[in-house]
Amino acid sequence: MKKFNFRKVLDGLTAASPVGSSSGGSGSGAGGSVHPGGTAGAAGTPREEIQETLTSDYFQICKTVRHGFPYLPTALAFDPVQKILAIGTRTGAIRILGRPGVDCYCQHESGAAVLQLQFLINEGALVSACADDALHLWNLRQKRPAILHSLKFNRERITYCHLPFQSKWLYVGTERGNTHIVNIESFILSGYVIMWNKAIELSTKTHPGPVVHLSDSPRDEGKLLIGYENGTIVFWDLRSKRADLRAYYDEAIHSVAWHHEGKQFMCSHSDGSLTLWNLKSPNRPFQTTIPHGKVQRDGKKPESCKPILKVEYKTCKNSEPFVIFSGGLSYDKPCRRPSLTIMHGKAITVLEMDHPIVDFLTLCETPYPNEFQEPYAVVVLLEKDLIVVDLTQSNFPIFENPYPIDIHESPVTCTEYFADCPPDLIPVLYSVGAKHKKQGYSNKEWPISGGAWNLGAQTYPEIIITGHADGSVKFWDASAITLQMLYKLKTSKVFEKQKVGEGKATAEIVEEDPFAVQMMYWCPESRIFCVAGVSAYVIVYRFSKHEVNTEIASLEVRLQCEVEDIITPEPETNPPFPDASSQPPSLKSLSGSTNTVACEGTMKDSIPCLSVKARPVRMPPGYQADLVIQLVWVDGEPPQQITSLAVNSAYGLVAFGNCNGLAVVDFMQKTVLLSMGTLDLYGSSDPYQRQPRSPRKSRQFAAGLTELSDSPVSLELERCKSPTSDHVNGHCTSPTSQSCSSGKRLSSADVSRANRRGPGRPPFRKAQSAACMEISLPVTTEENRENSFSRSRSSSVSSIDRDSKEAITALYFMESFARKNDSAVSSCLWVGTGLGMVIILSLNLPASDDLRQSEPVMVSPSGTVLTLKGAVLTFACLDCMGTLIHQPYEVWRDPHSADDGDKTRKRKLVMHSPSSSQDMGDHQFAVICSEKQAKVFSLPSQTCLYVHNITETSFLLRADVVTLCNSVCLACFCANGHIMTLSLPSLRPLLDINYLPVTDMRIARTFCFTNEGQALYLSSPTEIQRLTYSQEMCDNLQDMLGDLFTPVETPEAQNRGFLKGLFGGSGQAFDREELFGEATAGKASRSLAQHIPGSGGIEGVRGAAGGVIGDLTRARIALDERGQKLGELDERTASMMASAEAFSKHAHEVMLKYKDKKWYQF
């Protein structure tokens, strides 16, 4: 721990200066300097020594868990004894799912797509076959699976794998038509190979194609059924190494399934047909059906259908067998959805799916292939969903899915993460969300119930909120690294539905997803929730446990830059803020009293993008809309999207800004307090001293517009001139502007370029999911770096445009010192801009709670302006002891409770938190972080105590002040992939790791930090990745993760009975070891495949759960290693013996040659 004496810093002494720089590695841009600044003798100078408890030992980064549906799935496998499911994806990932809480993610290093997965049933292992022709053996007996062995094929491409139950020999079919055999224990190829030219008849002139199916006969393990793509089926006798029978069909084969007795098998074909074959008469199928084909009248073969991609043939003891297949629909219905067909006796049921079917598996009661299968469920893997169908009920209902795989139901556009929130929130949200549960699910237990999971040591409540493209907001319980949906809110319900074909005539600024949620702000203590939508609106929600039927209050706000072509002959003389005596306007005075330009035809003005419902609306318990605030079109220019949002329940205010300016609304009185351009917020405190220009030669004024000022703009900044004020009933409104006008007069070319889009044309085409609404990726040229990450969400304001406006990028309500040398704290709104300016606005609230509903709230400039480099991202305040001061809030009360008859019931406000520091001392520390640097100011002296230049070559995407281990730090995520933490208030670098390259804007848009060392981001369009930067949580992670493998007895095989054993086929034991082992089959060619030892050996076992299994695994690996060493020793001994024998023989020959010679004959 290091002590920092701020008195010495302020006195200009050089004692106790922080660490000089952070080591970010080459190209990280993180090697910024930290230096104390400021002058001595300021008022409110801190005299205490703040002891910082956080050191770099408290931090470490690791991924914790991944939630959601596996992105781009390709393969499916199920262990019927362990009851766990594995899903492989196109990106090389594997997700293993068991009971709720058992959810594991692992990734192949190569990133190659997973072609097929095979469990070693009840062995705690999994084989994956990938598109790079590698086989991998995964050890599932540890909480984080690891690869034990890999086998990379060099000359042949893998197409199909089959591992018989309780066998250690894996059959591998290839594109060339050959079948190889791999020992699962050693992962070495056997010398036994079934070559395609040996399998087919010698008279066949064509290649049979790739192997598409391999399976051993349920009747005799010594017989292998090989299916080739062109329709050839070979029944291979492994002992005699020859084909017992061959069958041919003139349509390509997609899959094969056995009857459990091993006398019949069924094939699915490319013409939508199913063929049933009998081993006794292989010349032709004894039954051919096209289930969905139309029967021709003249008795001809039914017309062909789409291919049946997979079929499963499952028998039941007490009923007809099930034939289940995917595909096979008729071609004459092109719009039909993907379907799974279940044939049970004469009944045919077609289950239509919402997404294409990737794979399906039938879950059966027994793992033995030669017993009645007794299917009870079908797992269907779709491109974007996972469905389990109950086969035990005649209407085939689906099971209610306990996994959070519907995160992407509508694309995620933004996320927020809250750790250690009030404990009563989760049950309250669940109680209002549970009422919306769907009916009609199966009443059986979820069948994928394997693994074990317990709560672990981490018990604080966590909530994740996701905003979506369709306007929905989902609240999730994320406690103890699980995820469960609590409550869903549909924000689009406050608006009228758009009729089809009405889009062009209305004022929509996006053609698709006009309700997309762009920003969210939640106060867990007061339960106030606020969303900003892509169509330039803000909705304030209050939480109630009671249903209510009421009208939705709405306000409209004009927030637009002025038109550059209109020049005023004299500077604006009205003050930019309304004076304190003026009453805030009502809605009517806002939109009705302003004079607007009325051009002929298509010019839109003073109309919002969407229509709020005017009639009373029924609002169920939960979040209920309290107020809708919409930005309106101004003179044919659409409102710009909202870039910052803040709400405070204690003040009753909501503030939001965009690239044009700032609006502050009183949501208690439903009035607009402030609506003005960014430049006007400075008042007389503009650091650039921009004075009004001298009048130019007169120009024609647009009729109806009030006076406008034309202020000069620094050429160095080249930024848009913000609007001036027009007082309407004491209210600030903003005149119009070109969408992206610069500070200088537009030339005719500029005007034509600006108007090329045409009046009323949407400034961009589509609200992209996740990050794309935010900005473009960083540019690398030096001149564009300053504005490379524009905070405007509208694509009409390009981040590469040097003339971008000064957007409002951060807002923060706080009890703080608004002016230099104030003696007491007051209510403030901190405003951060895209050019690194921080403006503090004073909020004059009514003195007593009784007057809050009637007396106006005043917003005025404090005159305080602070500066940073880069767009401002976040604010926080620390008290004189270095403890984080929480924002004031109103304790939640139900707005519609039964005892609410007394309207004078007082609001309970918490103004100062933590409550231990009642007077909060005589000073504060203000923490401000921009995309380039962090600064700590002492208030009220406004002395800059510490500066840390976080990055020079990149910029921050996210910064949050968070609590960790009862202390506080600044967590930052940089566009170059670095995650950094800085101590507070001294800004010492504590962590800097190059962790996550921003390969997708989705990551930039959704990354967020929270308390207790946790963070998350959207790793794919369907998955949330959670991570921790806390050393303590990394250490405890093993206890929190679920066990994939639990010791379970393998069920015993049924007794076959004497007669069945006598007449029912060979059924004798088949010794694969004798047949495929090296002693008999020899070694495979070394050039065919390369064995690669995995990382899942002792290192992987160290992470495994303790106990008998871990010890056994360690012992087994140690024995393997010992066996390998003994084998090597044995080879060396044999080599030495052979060498000694050769030497002995040679010596004997020499001796015989010279035995009878005399010494003089040599």
In this predicted structure, what is the pLDDT of residue 761? 36
d(CA 270, CA 273): 7
pLDDT of 832 above 90: yes
Give percent of the chain above pLDDT 90. 50
Sort 499 into a burial class: Cβ within 10 Å, 0-12 / 13-18 / 19+.
exposed
* Residue in 748, 908, 889, 879 with CA at minimum distance from that of residue 816: 879
- 197 — phi, psi (to 5°)? -75, -20
Q: What is the mean pLDDT of residues 995-1001?
A: 84
CA distances from 538 to 516, 553, 643, 678, 725 (A): 12, 12, 11, 19, 22
Tell me the C-alpha distance between 327 and 338, whole Å: 7
Per-residue pLDDT at 927 exceeds 70: yes
Lowest mean pLDDT across 154-163, 372-381, 746-755, 922-931: 746-755
Query: Cα–chain-centroid distance for residue 660?
Result: 31
Is 80 exceeded by the pLDDT of residue 483? yes
Of 415-419, 452-456, 789-793, which has the strongest mean pLDDT?
A: 415-419
Q: Which helix (H) or strand (E) holds 1123?
A: helix 1108-1154
At residue 1110, what are phi and psi to the nearest 5 degrees? Answer: -60, -45
Query: Do the Cβ atoms of 958 and 789 come closer than 8 Å?
Result: no
Whether the ω angle into residue 985 lies within 30 degrees of 0, i.e. cis, is yes
DSSP labels for 180-234?
EEEETTTTEEEEEEE-HHHHS-TT--S---SEEEEEE-SS-TTEEEEEETTSEEE
**What pLDDT is stored for residue 1105 in this prediction?**
38
Residue 767 has pLDDT above 70, yes or no: no
For the chain, the 3-state helix, strand and coil shares in percent, each to the nearest 5, are: 15, 35, 50
The answer to whether the CB of 979 falls within 8 A of the CB of 995 is: yes
Measured CA distances, 1081 to 126, 192, 1084 (Å): 26, 5, 8
Distance of CA 1026 to the CA centre of its chain: 9
For 344, half-sphere exposure in the C-beta direction (CA atoms, 13 angstrom radius) is 15
Give the side-chain half-sphere CA count within 13 A for 354.
6
Distances (CA, A) of 664 to 12, 555, 625, 856, 983: 40, 12, 18, 13, 33
Lowest mean pLDDT among 343-357, 553-567, 662-676: 553-567
CA 12 to the chain's CA centroid: 48
User: pLDDT tens-digit profile of 687-717?
Assistant: 665 543 333 333 332 333 222 233 333 323 3
C-alpha–C-alpha distance, residues 676 and 806, integer Å:
12
Residues near 754 by beta carbon (within 8 Å), at least 6 away in sequence: 738, 739, 740, 741, 746
Digit-coded pLDDT (tens) for 90-105: 999 999 999 988 999 9
pLDDT reported for residue 7? 39
Please list, residue by residue across 468-488, b when 16 or more beta carbons sit within 10 angstroms of its beta carbon and e when fewer do: bbbbbbbbbbbbbbbbbbbbb
- The answer on pLDDT for 113 being more than 90 is yes
Q: Taking every pair of C-alpha atoms in the chain, what is the biggest distance, in angstroms?
A: 138
Distances, alpha carbon 60 to alpha carbons 104, 974, 1041, in Å: 21, 17, 18
Backbone dihedral region for residue 250 (phi beyond 0: left; psi -120 to 50: alpha; all else: beta) = alpha
| Helix (H/G/I), strand (E/B), else coil: 661 | strand
Summarize pLDDT for 1054-1095 with one digit per residue, the tens.
Answer: 876 544 554 444 445 667 777 787 767 677 777 788 888 887
Report the SS3 class of residue 1100. helix
Burial class of 704 by CB neighbour count within 10 A (0 to 12, 13 to 18, 19+): exposed
Q: Which helix (H) or strand (E) holds 413?
A: strand 412-419
What the block records as the tokens of 461 is 């409540």
Q: What is the pLDDT of residues 383-401, one digit of tens each?
A: 999 999 999 998 999 999 9
pTM, two decimals, is: 0.79
Tell me which residue has tokens 């992987």: 1100
Q: Are 495 and 515 in contact (CB under 8 A)?
A: yes
**Contact yes or no for 667/521 (Cβ under 8 A):** no
- Dig out the tokens for 725 from the structure: 């004020």
Model confidence at 502: pLDDT above 60: no
Cβ atoms of residues 1015 and 783 within 8 Å: no
Strands 169-174 and 158-162: antiparallel
The b-or-e profile of 215-243 (16+ CB within 10 A means b, else e) is: bbbbbbbbbbbbbbbbbbbbbbebeeeeb
Reply yes or no: is the peptide bond before residue 524 cis, omega within 30 of 0: no
Cα 986–Cα 988–Cα 990 angle in degrees, nearest 5 = 135
Which pLDDT score, from 0 to 100, does residue 497 have? 85
* Burial (CB count <10 Å: 0-12, 13-18, 19+), residue 347: exposed
Q: Which two tokens stand for residue 1070?
A: 């088949």
- Confidence category of residue 682, pLDDT binned at 50, 70, 90: confident
For the segment 259-267, the average pLDDT, to the nearest whole number, is 93
578-587, 660-669, 1045-1054: segment of lowest average pLDDT: 578-587
Residue corresponding to tokens 């024609």? 700
Rounded Cα distance between 729 and 751, Å, is 33
Provide CB contacts within 8 A for 45, sequence distance 6+: 6, 7, 10, 923, 938, 941
Quote the Cα angle for 759-761-767, to 5°. Answer: 150
pLDDT over threshold 70, residue 488:
yes
**What pLDDT does residue 705 have?**
28
CB atoms within 10 A of CB 1136: 10
Q: Residue holding tokens 């503030």?
A: 655
- Whether the Cβ atoms of residue 1056 and residue 1064 lie closer than 8 Å to each other: yes
* Residue-wise pLDDT tens digits, 351-385: 999 999 999 999 999 999 999 999 999 999 999 99
Geometric angle at alpha carbon 268, from 262 and 270, rounded to 5° = 155
Sheet strand arrangement including 223-228: 211-216, 223-228, 232-237, 242-248
* Predicted pLDDT at 802: 34
| DSSP state letters, 931-987 | SSEEEEEEETTTEEEEEEE--SSS-EEEEEEEEETTEEEEEEEETTSEEEEEETTT-
Phi, psi of 639 (to 5 degrees): -65, 145
* Calpha distance 843→477 (Å, rounded): 36
Structure tokens at 525: 């203590």
- Statement: residue 570 has pLDDT above 90: no
How much is the pLDDT for 740?
33
Distance, in Å, from the CA atom of 385 to the CA atom of 409, rounded to the nearest integer, reads 9
Provide the pLDDT confidence category of residue 684 given band limits of 50, 70 and 90.
low
Quickly count helices (H) and strands (E) in the chain: 14, 66
Compute the mean pLDDT over every residue in the chain, rounded to the nearest whole number: 78
C-alpha atoms less than 13 angstroms from C-alpha of 793 in its C-beta half-sphere: 34
- How many CA within 13 A on the CB side of residue 32? 26
